[in-house]
Amino acid sequence: MLIPTTCFNCESACGLLGYVDKQDLSIKKLEGNPAHPGSRGRNCAKGPATINQLDDPERILYPLRRVGERGAGGWERCTWDEALDDIAARIRTAILDGRRDEVMYHVGRPGEDGFAERFLAAWGVDGHNSHTNICSAGARFGYTLWGGYDRPSPDHANAKVILLLSSHLESGHYFNPHAQRIMEGKLDGAKLVVIDPRMSNTASHADLWLAPWPGSEAAILLAVAAHLLRTRRIATDYMRRWVNWETYLDRLHPGEPRDFDTFLDRLTEDYARYTFEFAAQEARVPVERIEELAKLVADAGTQLAAHVWRAAAAGNRGRWPAACSSSTCSPAASGPRAAQAPTGGTSSSRTARTRRRRTTTGTS
């Protein structure tokens, strides 16, 4: 018999069909579920390969408690009650002692939409850690501020321009449902723009590729926004309805007429410094590519599908914090790399700024 289920080898949560033996209820194989609205039966290799996890001889089926020194490799089996009592008692003691900051909840991939977060909040514990902290947290934070949710699904399939500030088209499993729609959009004539410091698999499919200095992507986006404002290639009705322009005027331009046209004029002036040249210098990308991007975005009108993830969300000061070690991110290591940068104009001053900050803050 066929049993619909969900793959959770990543957060895409694609649909799977389990082929189950009616006699002994063992799962014989897993395949993509064509009725699933997201993955539509097209899974990455990890989906069907889930079968390997079920009978893996190294699969951990019960709690294990360390015996001996940490790292010595000694473990003994214990019951779930023992494991839970032990962990709960330690957490309870820490909370009663006022040591809440010593409680850390770590999960590989938080896919439960905030359920665990509520427990931690109830305990007054702020220590929620996962790989997201050094991966997509920056992107999710921005999405949350803009849209109130952290993982949108842009309408790639019906876009004229698809702008990816990430490598998520196909350098991995994660955005399989997105990748399908991106390819549909491309087949329908959409232009694919990729902003990714690496020539990733995703970038290799781009009509336009920009490889910015990690952490400088915002400068490119500001330059595009400034272009849209200058040329008035903007969705004014949408902005009037959804942008909090009255508050903008109140806070930044008190005393100005409180009308939407004044807001647009002031906003255009406020963004005027984000020129193509400014972005090119910050991002170390040829200015013509930024101009080309701005034109594509303007021409797309409301049919722009954009997504931010990983690369752009994790870059900072020319590198990825997750990849830093004390040697690769030391001030001494910054010099030669910065000196090799293609546009020397800002690199030395940026390096000097970085050095000063590090000296002040003691970061490495």
Contacts with ligand SF4, residue ranges (CB under 6 A): 7, 9-10, 12-14, 39, 43-44, 46-47, 173, 176
Report the residue number, 13 or 218, with the smaller CB distance to ligand SF4. Answer: 13
Smallest distance from ligand SF4 to CB 42, Å:
9
* Beta carbon of residue 163, minimum distance to ligand SF4 (angstroms, whole number): 22
Return d(Cα 169, Cα 205) in angstroms, integer.
9
Q: 66 has which bridge partners? A: 75
Beta carbon nearer to ligand SF4, 164 or 279: 164
Collapsing DSSP to helix, strand or coil, 103 comes out as coil
Residue 6 CB, shortest distance to ligand SF4, in Å, is 8
CA-nearest of 153, 152, 143, 106 to 127 is 106
Tokens of 150: 């952290």
Taking the least distance from each CB to ligand SF4, the nearer of 46 and 358 is 46
Q: Other C-beta atoms within 10 Å of 44: how many?
A: 21
Rounded to the nearest 5°, which phi and psi values hold at 90?
-65, -45
In whole angstroms, the minimum distance from the beta carbon of 75 to ligand SF4 comes to 29
Q: Smallest Cα–Cα separation from 197: which of 172, 221, 214, 217? A: 214
Which residue's CB is nearer to ligand SF4, number 32 or number 212?
Answer: 32
- Residue pair 47/7 in contact (Cβ under 8 Å)? The answer is yes
Q: Using CB atoms within 10 Å of the CB of residue 208, give its burial: 0 to 12 exposed, 13 to 18 middle, 19+ buried.
A: middle
**Size of the chain in residues:** 364
Instruction: Write down the least CB distance from residue 300 to ligand SF4, Å.
Output: 27
- The residue (of 38 and 152) whose beta carbon lies closer to ligand SF4 is 38
Q: Which is nearer to ligand SF4, 164 or 338 (CB)?
A: 164
Shortest distance, position 12 Cβ to ligand SF4, whole Å: 4
CA 71 from centroid of its chain's CA atoms: 33
Minimum CB distance to ligand SF4 smaller for 5 or for 343: 5
Which residues, including other chains, have CB under 8 Å from residue 128's CB and lie 6 or more apart? 105, 107, 110, 116, 117, 120
End-to-end CA distance of the chain: 57
- Report in angstroms the alpha-carbon separations of 51 from 22, 54, 56, 247: 17, 5, 9, 55
The residue (of 3 and 121) whose beta carbon lies closer to ligand SF4 is 3
Asked if residue 300 lies in contact with residue 224, where contact means CB atoms within 8 angstroms, the answer is no
Q: Which is nearer to ligand SF4, 14 or 313 (CB)?
A: 14
Distance CA 33, CA 10 (A): 16
CA of residue 362 relative to chain centroid, distance: 27
For the CB of residue 57, give the shortest distance to ligand SF4 in the complex, in Å. Answer: 22
* CB of residue 32 to ligand SF4, shortest distance in Å: 7
Closest distance of CB 156 from ligand SF4, Å: 16
For 15, the enclosing helix (H) or strand (E) is: strand 15-20
